[in-house]
Amino acid sequence: MDEVIINKKDRITIVTINRPNVRNAVNYKTSKMLENAMEEFNSDNEQHVCIITGNCGNFSSGADLSDAEKMSGEVLNKNGPMGFTRMFFQKPLIAAIEGYCVAGGLEMALSADIRISGKDAKFGFLERRFGVPLIDGGTQRLPKIIGVGRALDMILTGKLISADEAYKIGLVNYITDNGRALEKAIEIAKIMDSYPWDTLINDRLSLYNGLYEPLNKGLRIEAEFGKKTIDGGAVRDGAKKFISGHGRHGKMD
Which residues make beta-bridge pairs with 94? 51, 114
| Catalytic annotation present for 40 | no
90 three-state secondary structure: coil
> C-alpha angle 147/151/157, rounded to 5°?
155
pLDDT mean over 93-101: 98
Please state, in angstroms and rounded to a whole number, the distance separating the CA atoms of residues 30 and 149. 33
Spot the catalytic one: 107, 187, 222, 224: 107
Asked if the model's pLDDT at residue 50 lies above 80, the reply is yes
- pLDDT confidence of residue 239: 60
pLDDT mean over 39-66: 97
> C-alpha angle 72/75/76, rounded to 5°?
145
Asked if the model's pLDDT at residue 248 lies above 90, the reply is no
Asked if the model's pLDDT at residue 223 lies above 70, the reply is yes
Asked if the model's pLDDT at residue 91 lies above 60, the reply is yes
| Catalytic annotation present for 107 | yes
pLDDT mean over 2-6: 97
pTM for the predicted model, two decimal places: 0.92
Asked if the model's pLDDT at residue 138 lies above 70, the reply is yes
Q: Give a three-class secondary structure readout of 203-225.
A: HHHHHHHHCCCCHHHHHHHHHHH
Spot the catalytic one: 127, 187, 222, 224: 127
